[in-house]
Amino acid sequence: MDKKIGIWIDFFSKKILIEKDSPLYWKNMIFSFLKNWYNNNPFLTIFTSGTTGMPKKVILYKKHMYNRAVSTVEFLNLKKIGTRGFLCLSPNFIASKMFLVRAIIFKWKIYCVPPSSNPLKGIKEFFDISSMIPMQVKFSLESKHIENIKILLIGGSYISENLEEKLQNISTICYATYGMTETYGHIAIRKINGSNKSFLYKSFKDINIDVDNRNCLRIFLEKKYVVQTNDIVYLISKNSFFWKGRYDNIINSGGIKIIPELLEKRINPFIPFYRRFFISSISDEVFGEKIILIIEGSPISIKIPEQIFCGEKKFYKPKNIFFISTFTENSFGKIRRKETTKKLIEIINNKYT
């Protein structure tokens, strides 16, 4: 890294080192949060990431943020003073704020850098803990720097099977996290690699979970606050679940309800690993909604074996495959499915009018 753009914050010695090229706007966001944390106001007002719509204003109480931070650190066994953290997420969002809260409480020493797709580029230091979105993990893997981190928390968007497979070959301990702004960050965690990896998310010991009549996860915080999600899950036990997909993504094709995320897992091995894709639908006179496969980038040849759509699965087969130059994303790099599909439909309509 040619420029020195980061900030070292040692919460034990209370020393701060601001590197000369650190961007002013980003630096101000970091210190604004710290100032608000240390004031006498019992709550903070922040905005959600806007994954499925417009960002919402949410009030978060500091005492609950404190409890969530402690829960995570105890699980990861990172209570040691001077634990080295690497923060590379936007200070605007809950993941970054909670990283800072953990550092404050347990007196970590952290290196903060502005968010980018390849945050570890040019960085040679070793760290005990970091949090990243899947896009950052992908580029960090390619640049061979990811093993500078002992424990990596990955969240913010779906982790593809291709990326998860690549994480099996590194020494870094990787966890997928489940949570959102309304839950004060993650409330459950899933180990991605290593001897005890799992497909199941396990909630922290101070969290209770169940499902509603749609099989969507319901979360009980602080024994009285209820957060109702639109995440369809299979509840394995009182503290573990398998994530299936989003209720708001369900496709009703000819009366058959299809969860796109499950179908994506089936066809994932037949899509080149360097291509992003998702299952969506367009209106159809016969089926109501017709299943389509949308792939990012220029057209390529795709061959999906017929046998994976045998029996009742024949209704799951995409009727068309479309290519679009770039997907619409939110600030975490998560694909905005509905907006991308709408853009595709506009392209198709313009082509034939």
| Higher pLDDT pick, 148 / 50 | 148
Amino acid at 102: R
Q: Where does the pLDDT of residue 1 fall: very low under 50, low under 70, confident under 90, or very high at 90 and above?
A: very low
Span 40-59, pLDDT tens digits: 999 998 877 655 556 678 89
pTM over 0.85: yes
Read off the tokens for 80: 């040691």
> By CB neighbour count within 10 A (0-12 exposed, 13-18 middle, 19+ buried), where does 29 fall?
middle
DSSP β-bridge partners for residue 220 = 208, 226
Q: Which residues contact 236 (CB under 8 A, 6 or more apart)?
A: 200, 242
| Angle at 86 (CA atoms; ends 162, 128), nearest 5 degrees | 85
CB 150 within 8 A of CB 173: yes
- Which of the residue ranges 38-42, 56-60, 268-272, 274-278 would you say has the lowest mean pLDDT? 56-60
Cα dihedral value 129, 60, 189, 29, nearest 10: -30
> What's the pLDDT score for residue 313?
82
DSSP β-bridge partners for residue 130 = 86, 152
Phi and psi, residue 147, nearest 5° = -75, 5
Q: Where does the pLDDT of residue 78 fall: very low under 50, low under 70, confident under 90, or very high at 90 and above?
A: very high
- Write out 194-208 in H/E/C secondary structure: CCCCCCCEEECCCCE
Q: Quick one: which of 335, 167, 312 has its CA closest to 253?
A: 312
- % of the chain surpassing 90 pLDDT: 71
Mark residue 223 as left, alpha or beta (left: phi above 0; alpha: psi -120 to 50; beta: remaining).
Answer: left
> By CB neighbour count within 10 A (0-12 exposed, 13-18 middle, 19+ buried), where does 136 fall?
buried
Q: Mean pLDDT, the chain, as a whole number?
A: 91
Q: Where does the pLDDT of residue 332 fall: very low under 50, low under 70, confident under 90, or very high at 90 and above?
A: low
Mean pLDDT, range 32-41, rounded to an integer: 94
Q: Is the pLDDT of residue 31 over 60?
A: yes
Using alpha carbons only, how large is the chain's radius of gyration in Å? 21
DSSP assigned state of 308: G
Q: Which H or E run contains 164? A: helix 161-166
What is the CB neighbour count within 10 angstroms for residue 349? 9
Q: Is the pLDDT of residue 83 over 60?
A: yes
